[in-house]
Amino acid sequence: DPSVQLFLSADPDDYLDKASTLDQLSGQQVEALKKIQDKQRELAQERAEATEKLKDLASTRTELGNKKQEVQGKLAEAQKLLNTLTAKEKAALAAEQQRANRSSTDRVDLGNDSSASGRAAAAFSAAQSRIGSPYVYGATGPSSFDCSGLTSWAYAQAGVSIPRTSQAQAGYGAHLSQSQLQVGDLVFFYGDLHHVGLYAGNGQVLHAPHTGAVVRYESINNMPFQFGVRV
């Protein structure tokens, strides 16, 4: 027992000095142990966050895989339809596509609509700088894009990270009607929300339309508008 050792010690002062040193060492060990425990908790939290991110990545990969299969199926159907066209009809279709692409470089009246926010203005300006860039499925810029690749890239230039796919972007914020749209808002089309662009003002959309087209302006009425989302 420490009290017995002190009573029997030939040099009580020396014993007390040693006891004090041992107590200090014990205190240091406790402090070191607390730091180790804190670090373990921190590592456990980081591990949990990394696990969640891996789950998100796996989910996104699966979603993109399913989307790719869907698009490939639609492209196959479109190719079958194209194969049924006569040479004259194909030439007319190609001429129409060229006309639409050329119009993207022409002056478009965007009116005087204001931007939804500073970041929306920055995103829209970034997208404008890519007018004429070709549509490539799965591309996210900076030289080619698909529809959601353009919108996610544009907002990234404004310092805002939004989801990669059009369906995920559609759930990013509250839905807006066409009359509520402001420049830079995301605009979604078709029942399955497979297409997205940026509202450009005055009833115009800036988007990457489809294979064979380029990033360009187009009337919002040319596609079945569903709703807008403000980032």
Mean pLDDT of 3-25: 68
Q: State the pLDDT at residue 130.
A: 95
Q: State the pLDDT at residue 200.
A: 96
- Annotated active-site residue 194? The verdict is no
Tell which wins on pLDDT, 106 or 192. 192
Best mean pLDDT range from 36-50, 71-85, 163-177: 163-177
What phi and psi values does residue 3 have, to the nearest 5 degrees? -65, -35
Averaged pLDDT score across all residues of the chain = 86
Q: State the pLDDT at residue 100.
A: 66
Q: State the pLDDT at residue 211.
A: 85
Residue 43, token pair as written in the block: 């590592």
* For residue 136, pLDDT beyond 70: yes
Task: Spot the catalytic one: 175, 194, 195, 210.
Answer: 195
Residue 211, token pair as written in the block: 């294979």
* For residue 96, pLDDT beyond 90: no
- Annotated active-site residue 210? The verdict is no
Q: State the pLDDT at residue 5.
A: 66
- Annotated active-site residue 207? The verdict is yes
Q: State the pLDDT at residue 7.
A: 57
How does DSSP assign 107-176, residue by residue?
Answer: ----TTPPBSSHHHHHHHHHHHTTTTPBB-TT-BSSS-B-HHHHHHHHHHHTT----SSHHHHHTSS-EE
DSSP-derived 3-state class of residue 220 = helix
Task: Spot the catalytic one: 175, 194, 207, 210.
Answer: 207
